[in-house]
Amino acid sequence: MKKDDTFSGSYSYSRKHTAISNNTRNNSQATSYNSTMQKGTDSPHSAGVVQSLLTAFVSINKIKHESISNNTLSEVPVLRTAKTDMEDLISRLNQEIAVKDYLTTKVKDLEEELETTKLTSKENLHQTILMERERITQMQWDMEELRRK
C-alpha cells in the first residue's frame, strides 16, 4: 500500500484523486437497513443499501488486492534471484566439500605412500650397508690370504 492511501471507518477508502466514502452517506441507510432486516421486510430501499455496501466493500477489497498483488509481484523476481543465489551457493559449497574430501583422502594416501617409501628406502639402505660391510670383510680376508702366501 502506498503512503498516500488511507483507510477510515468501516467502508471508506481514499486515494489521491479517488474517494469512496460510505460512512456519511450510508450511516442513515445502514440504520434503516438494520431495522428493515430486523423486521424481516425486503424493501427496494434495503436492497440499495446492500448493493451500495457491497459495491464499496468490493471496491475497497479490489484496491487492497491490487496493492498486495503489485507488492507481491514486484518481490517475486527478488525472491527468485535470492533463491537462485542460494542454490548456487549451496552447489558451490557441496563442490568445495567434495573437493576437500577428495584432497584429504589424497593427502592421506600420499602420506601412507611416503611412509612406505621411507621404510623401504631405510631397509634398502640397511641391506646395502650390510652387503658393503660383507664385501669389505671378504676383501680383507682375501688380502690376508694373499699376504700369507
How high is the mean pLDDT in each 10-residue block of the chain (149 residues)? 46 43 44 47 62 79 70 64 88 95 96 97 97 96 91
pLDDT at 4: 47
- Residue at grid coordinates 467502508: 11
C-alpha cell at 33: 437497513
Q: What is the pLDDT of residue 72?
A: 58
What is the reported pLDDT for 56?
80
**Distance of alpha carbon 31 from alpha carbon 140, whole angstroms:** 134
pLDDT for the residue numbered 62: 77
